[in-house]
Amino acid sequence: MLPFLIDERGKVWDPHSLVLRAQLHASVSAQELRDFAVLNLGFIALAIGKARIDIQLRPALARPAALGALYLVLHKHAPERIVMRWYNGVWQDEIIGWHRDGWRRLTRLFEGPENPPLGFWRKRIAPERLSSENPLRHVLADTSRLTRIVANPAQMLPLPLSDRYLLLTENDDRELRVCDFGSALMSRSPEWQRRARGRRIDDLPDWYYGQWVAEAYREAGRGGQPVLEEVAAMIDWPKLGTLSHAYWRLIVTGAGPGGRTRLLGVTLDDARVGVHKVG
């Protein structure tokens, strides 16, 4: 099996890497380095085989960027099973199937009370709260066009929003999967953009942000009515660090082929606030 380490920024390392050892000032064996990095630095250890992937981690320390990188590896290799070893005061061992229950089990593991999602805020607002020039207000006001916009956002959205949309469809397991998106969406993560279509919306580069965004879409889908929100979020980006974002988001529910739920999200940055580096 091929061993790897994912650091707190989401970078994947060979545990024998001299560069990694120099950065950590480590002169111990590969196994000792792995155990130390997992228990003290929030790294995630992987070993990839033909039909299984071994994972070793400490959920309370694992950073969102590392969790996002872990999900990318799991989706890329699609193992039949995961052998998971995790630490919460004592080591716990578990074997789970990835295709059916794996991601749900991982989600529950990271949503424990010691890992609350911090730095995210959203509030529903009335269209009148937006300036008259805001294109989101115009989209929401023209209710006769909403169905056509959900069906073909790239062509039907006004130009300032034509690259700022996310289109999701519900699959047989009631998961929300990325169907299409505009070029400006998640542009700070080209790797996510390359692999996004067909993936769960939950699996954004910042794992906690992905879970939080997914819940907002599910909530809007259950209501069935357009939802306009003011949003603020501190997002942990691979290679860039944590950035503070402020934006407006419109979520519209529709129906796709076979009557499956379709959810269109359209966002616009709040230029008054901008994007700022945190820390």
What confidence tens digit (pLDDT) does each residue in 202-247 have? 888 887 888 889 999 999 999 999 999 999 888 888 888 888 888 9
Long-range contacts of 115-121 (CB under 8 A, 24+ apart): 115/59, 115/60, 117/208, 117/211, 117/212, 118/208, 118/234, 119/233, 119/234, 119/242, 120/208, 120/209, 120/212, 120/232, 120/233, 120/234, 121/231, 121/232, 121/233
pLDDT-based confidence at 71, cuts 50/70/90?
confident
Structure-token match 């949503």, residue found: 111
Question: At residue 118, does pLDDT exceed 60?
Answer: no
Say what the pLDDT of residue 272 is.
78
Instruction: Note the Cα 240 to chain centre separation in Å.
Output: 15
Say what the pLDDT of residue 111 is.
61
Q: What is the mean pLDDT of the chain?
A: 86
Buried/exposed code over 213-250 (b: 16+ C-beta within 10 A; e: otherwise)? bbebbbebbeeeebbbbbbebbbbbbeeebbbbbbbbb
Specify which of 173-177, 206-210, 220-224, 275-279 reaches the highest per-range mean pLDDT. Answer: 220-224
Say what the pLDDT of residue 159 is.
94
Average pLDDT score over residue span 27-45? 85
Query: Domains plus CATH for the chain?
Result: 2-110 (no CATH), 120-277 (3.30.450.20)
Question: At residue 100, does pLDDT exceed 60?
Answer: no
Question: At residue 112, does pLDDT exceed 70?
Answer: no
Specify which of 105-114, 209-218, 252-261 reaches the highest per-range mean pLDDT. Answer: 209-218
Between the alpha carbon of residue 101 and those of residues 62, 84, 108, 133, 213, the distances in Å are 21, 13, 11, 46, 21
Residue pair 185/153 in contact (Cβ under 8 Å)? The answer is no
Question: At residue 116, does pLDDT exceed 50?
Answer: no
| pTM exceeding the 0.95 threshold for the entire prediction | no
Helical axes 207-223 vs 64-77, angle rounded to 10°: 80
Question: At residue 104, does pLDDT exceed 70?
Answer: no
Single out the residue of 74, 172, 130, 114 nearest to residue 267, CA to CA. Answer: 130
Question: At residue 124, does pLDDT exceed 60?
Answer: yes
CA atoms within 13 A of residue 130's CA, in its CB half-sphere: 26
